[in-house]
Amino acid sequence: MEYKIAILISGNGSNMLNILDACKKREIKSKVLTVVSNNPNSKGLEKAKVFGVNCKVINSKKFKNQYDFENSISLHLKEFNINLICLAGFMKILSKNFVNKWKKKIINIHPSLLPAFKGLNTHDRAIRMNVRYSGCTVHYVNNKLDSGEILDQEVVRVLSSDNENSLKKKILMKEHKLYIKVLKKLEKLE
């Protein structure tokens, strides 16, 4: 199946760029039709524009409540007939209402081997806990933080010489490969 993808970002969008690049090179059949950021200062938006993709800021701070913010996102996505939402550094927790509306149509990449280190500061926590392995996970988004069905994972060995920054870089390289691998897998399933 060829997905009509929306990518939601808040920051630099390195995973977003990776997905856009995979589409351009036809590594995946799906197409990114829009990139949405809740942050008007997101550097990823300028990068996405280079690919000629529709970009939209839906600033979460301009809405009275989360429902109105998320409804605005849904309305925008419906204009493009989106059937897969890829979260790529989207730093807002989505409500139960939004997740239910887009059930099994939202995937996220998380920089740990879930269920370990849910939430923020994953690399720092992995270093402090002296784990030997960390990695990244692509999962469906459900109503609980970083708890949805796991689609795939990539493992990274944590060396004694690693610090938070070096671990982050190693995992990010794996994230880029994993997201594309999962998208290819999903295309074959439908």
Q: Which domain holds residue 103?
A: 4-189
H/E stretch holding 106: strand 106-110
CATH number of residue 33's parent domain: 3.40.50.170
Say whether pLDDT at 112 is over 90. yes
pLDDT of residue 138: 98
Instruction: With beta carbons less than 8 A apart as the criterion, state whether 32 and 5 touch.
Output: yes
As for how many domains the chain has, the answer is 1
- State the catalytic residue, choosing from 110, 123, 139, 176: 110
Phi-psi sector, 46: left (phi>0), alpha (psi -120 to 50), beta: alpha
Instruction: With beta carbons less than 8 A apart as the criterion, state whether 123 and 45 touch.
Output: no
How far apart (Å, rounded) are the C-alpha atoms in residues 134 and 176? Answer: 15
Q: Which tens digits make up the pLDDT trace of 27-42?
A: 999 999 999 999 999 9
CA distances from 90 to 6, 7, 27, 42, 109 (A): 12, 9, 24, 10, 10
pLDDT of residue 189: 86
Say whether pLDDT at 52 is over 70. yes
Least confident of 61-65, 138-142, 186-190: 186-190
How far apart (Å, rounded) are the C-alpha atoms in residues 123 and 165? Answer: 8
Provide, rounded to the nearest whole percent, the portion of the chain with pLDDT above 70. 99
Sheet holding 31-37, edge to edge: 54-57, 31-37, 4-9, 84-87, 106-110, 133-140, 150-157
Q: Predicted confidence band at 190 (pLDDT cuts at 50, 70, 90)?
A: low
Q: Which tens digits make up the pLDDT trace of 64-77?
A: 999 999 999 999 99
How far apart (Å, rounded) are the C-alpha atoms in residues 136 and 97? Answer: 26
Output the DSSP codes for 37-103. ES-TT-HHHHHHHTTT-EEEE--GGGSSSHHHHHHHHHHHHHHTT--EEEESS--SPPPHHHHHHTT
Say whether pLDDT at 116 is over 90. yes
110 in catalytic set = yes
